[in-house]
Amino acid sequence: MHYTNIRRGTFIDRPNRFIAHINIKGSAETVHVKNTGRCAELLVPGAVVYVQESDKPDRKTKWDLIAVKKGSRMVNMDSQIPNHLVKEWLEEGNLFKDITRIRPEYTYGSSRFDLYVEADGKKIFIEVKGVTLEEDGVVRFPDAPSDRAVKHVEELKLAVKEGYEAYVFFVVQMKDVRYFTPNMDTHPAFGEALMDAARAGVHILSYDCDVRKDDIHIADEVPVVFDQFDQRADNAACADEAVKRSDSDLADVVEPVIAWYREHKRDLPWRREADAYRVWVSEIMLQQTRVEAVKPYYERFLRELPTVKKLAEAQEDMLLKLWEGLGYYNRVRNMQKAAQQIMADYNGEFPNTYEEIRLLKGIGNYTAGAISAFAYGIPKPAVDGNVLRVISRITGSREDIGKQSVRKKIEELLEPVIPRDAAGDFNQGLIELGALVCVPNGEPKCGECPAAGFCAAREQGAAAEIPVKSKGKARRIEDRTVFLFRDGRKLAIRKRPSKGLLAGLYEFPGVSGHLSLSEAAAYSKKIGLMPVRIKALGEAKHIFSHIEWHMVGYEILVDELERTNEKGFLFISPEEIEKEYPIPSAYESYTRYAGIRE
């Protein structure tokens, strides 16, 4: 979410919950405060604040309070923004993978929940809470008693009993906090209601945000802690249980890992010229994709879009065509948004600090760490799945690496030992070690490992048991029938909706369920296409992160494609489809029948 017309000011006082006096360029201005909570720890005299000038001339106050600096931390105070952030975040494909409907402000019982969602075959209520109260890295809600919040949580429990899925989503309007916990001091009734709801099956989520004076978007999951025992478990005293080896033990592996990497590293195209743009492109492509599969995509992408400027200006169809086959298309959409940020905020020059890189759209801790270390030599950790596995085995940790809190602990363990003169080689050495030696499936090659002498899992004979990772939810199966309608010259394709699974890509027409040959012929006639010949193309399967498509296909030769009454069909030659129209790899089993080269 981006704000315009932002001005810097200094907080003077707050006469009531709704307004504050702010010094803006030497003039005391009355400013509207959207956040009606106490915010006493934020709004202190002399605090640097950021306000937005309204473009509505008839308003009584022409300013809105948006953000405040609390020490080195930027805190967004806009209480109206969390709902928008969560909606935008869901629409980008987060949390649920097949969203068919999102409706704000949905009435259920005597409550109006912030969001109603239909996704993955479920009906879901989401209540969103913005969080601005922070102390020593711990964030809490509420900062003032809220009977309304208690009522909403209790209604969510009832919704779960009636078969709905329900979430309380805490949007922490700042970055880099330790954990979230309900504020038992201010409103114990809310904390008790929240714990009861969690036991009843309501999902409790907390995510922090990347915040700038004129921008905010959801970033990383934050641990949710309910009681004093759990709080102690998050403190530094728990580090011995979470990670068995100390910083000094990890420091011992630094030189062996660097030496091993320099001798055994693979010759990969993105390592030959490791500028920030190339590192970024490669790291986004390598998410969920094998190294060998990425190489031709990487080279083609850089050939067509060699600079940040070219990426920022690319047409969407061209962008998606270049990404065709890599999947997870939101990745490249976010890359373009980040490129546009770089053009607007950094005059086209890739930012060169970890903090600035981390604020770019679609870039999390790992990618920011990788760009910082590989391109700029900044000693920041780049913790991916390989590194989680390697460090868990070295330290003997049996904590669940699927948890964000565990990833954060490993980042905190690694950062102090990263050498300033070899940050890139050390980070890449850990990644390479996980890819080639400390492998996930099968027996790790301990005899080849430079860290074998320091490895707790090897000492304990527990390499096969570590790391621990909880199983995800079983994927939902969807049956589909795919049609290759053709008239001898052209094929029918259509563009998918702009939001949801495979958004904005092109596909062969299809319907839900598995149709028989006679049912396929009937469907063809129903949409105005007279079948001349029908050929069954067999079965195919494609696996997404949360869904499996089980498909059957038919090639249907028709007398004339233009006779269809189906809106949205495009009639394109296979050669033109291959060059111009991005078809997702979900359909690769049928593209060969269409005459489209894979």
Which domains are assigned to the chain? 6-76 (2.40.50.580), 81-234 (3.40.1350.60), 242-460 (1.10.340.30), 476-591 (3.90.79.10)
**Both tokens of residue 536?**
């069954």
The pLDDT of residue 87 is: 95
Per the CB < 8 A criterion, the answer to whether 235 and 197 are in contact is no
Can you tell me the distance from the alpha carbon of 202 to that of 158, in angstroms, rounded to the nearest whole number?
Answer: 10
pLDDT for position 348:
92
Structure tokens belonging to residue 538:
């067999």
In tens digits, what is the pLDDT along the chain, a chain of 598 residues? 889 999 999 999 999 988 999 999 999 999 999 887 788 889 999 999 999 998 877 788 889 999 999 988 999 999 999 999 999 999 988 888 788 999 999 988 888 899 999 988 899 999 999 999 998 889 999 988 888 899 999 999 999 999 999 999 999 999 988 899 999 988 889 999 999 999 999 999 999 999 999 999 999 888 888 754 344 334 433 344 444 444 446 888 999 999 999 999 999 999 988 899 999 999 999 987 889 889 999 999 999 999 999 999 999 888 988 988 887 788 898 999 999 999 998 999 999 999 899 988 888 899 999 999 999 999 999 999 999 999 999 999 988 888 888 888 899 889 989 999 999 999 999 999 999 999 987 789 999 999 998 899 998 888 888 898 877 667 889 999 999 998 877 899 998 887 778 888 899 999 999 999 999 999 999 998 888 899 999 899 998 877 889 999 999 998 888 778 777 888 888 888 888 888 888 888 888 888 776 5
Structure tokens at 583: 């078809």
Closest CA to 290 of 367, 149, 385, 370: 385
Query: Which residue numbers are catalytic?
Result: 283
The reported pTM is 0.59
Q: 199 by DSSP, 3-state: which?
A: helix
Distances (CA, A) of 373 to 179, 209, 258, 388, 524: 27, 23, 14, 17, 56
Compute the distance between CA of residue 492 and CA of residue 484 in angstroms, rounded to an integer: 7
208 φψ region: left (φ > 0), alpha (ψ -120 to 50), beta (else): beta
